[in-house]
Structure 1
């Protein structure tokens, strides 16, 4: 079988293709014939060795993938040969709050899914919504689970609530789709006038260009009648403006991208933290339970992820280069054909 391996800190030069024997499942394990993967900003951080979790040299990269179970080991009961499944990013994080003992992540500390055949724990896979292709399903494990976690942690999101999500990256696009399904009014920031109509077509009630409105929190306050939003999903920052945008008693979900040293990670005045009267939640992807819940919603509403571009498996380096170039809209997907 073909697979990719990673030497972190060397960029695209550290991403190399190899051949290896197909794996055999042990007790509690399954072999998945991968049919599609997706990549994003997180994978670029791993390539650059600029990631908060340790990266094993030579690891098989990639934490997002979908495929078909082709073999199961002794004691496996959750899935069977022929099932369509996706891998969970944190295979040991099944439910509840995130804990250090569940921090093993695909594609960093343990082998990931940029391979033709992946050996996975049966606990680390979930069934796919039937209406999705493998390419669409591969877009879910990271960005969609993160967005779902960000919207469901804290106070319940009720119909008529107002949600602000920052930027038009994959997490924000899923946030927009999920929040709109829940009956929320969604406000999105972007720097691209060309993306405004696409965001509106996905359900955005308001789109604010943060280049044209550098103090965009003022615009958020204006379009909410001075009240502010009930929830901010913030993968981009600045946190100061998110805190100025949220209503008293609201929630701000800080997505893991902050750890990359984004501009929004600058220190915040404690007085602003206090006066915002908001609750801050740290969001680092989500558990298997989050993934199962979002799949139910995706299936019920027949939601489809936004795909930017699809590359063949032999062109993984080109897919990474495209991702790094910026300017896309939706997930970058790799198809195994």
Structure 2
């Protein structure tokens, strides 16, 4: 895929969001736009990289605790996943939960979501698969087939760390308000040595660089932009003060870009902040949950305590 400026399917929400971010003093692009069809596929490739420990570490925790976690869903109830992607980790819980009545994957990438849902229907014919196209960082209205059921939310991958503290609080508070919510299974990556953290977001094969850079290709395709993807370099750094990895695209020359008729200037070395991956301590995770009305009832961790799968229950 190249940086063609041909406008295939204009996305007004993407254009408005990108213009707001790129005309700010400190340029930004929202990470939610990373996940078009190609971006979702690239992220799945990232999860298989040797440097990217979170996926395999969390997958091991889920396998080791699948029965107990699946039992959190009441008989006939629903498992609702936020940012479901390919629903790979979810299969571990579905395999262990033959009592589960419905699975609601929520994702912003419509085509990828529907393809995944079709595969899940073939694999789990006894479970009602109800895909929901939505941005989970905004309030989500569940379809009636899911809303009426007792339910457990599932948010793996430490995607909670990609949200600002305010958005993370809003998300947890919003899920807490769902009718029939019984528990929240939350994956959270923990603070650890800087070398391991940075390598996970700047792999030797350059897949993460392609994933982050794909947002420029999407802007060319859907926002009438003319970015030269080769004019920007991926950079991941550890921000100790905020306990997070920051991912930027750095302009490698002075240049200007047109987006929906608006000219945006870039100086050499100027960054676009695209994504952040916040890491947690036990105390910061408990505080985040408590502020949004949840108790951390259980924490399942790997042998090195690098990653945590927490079971949150609503404070009554």
TM-score, normalization by structure 2: 0.36
Task: Point out the structure with the larger helix share.
Answer: 2
TM-score after normalising by structure 1 = 0.34
Asked which structure has the greater RCO (Cα within 8 Å, sep 6+), the reply is 2
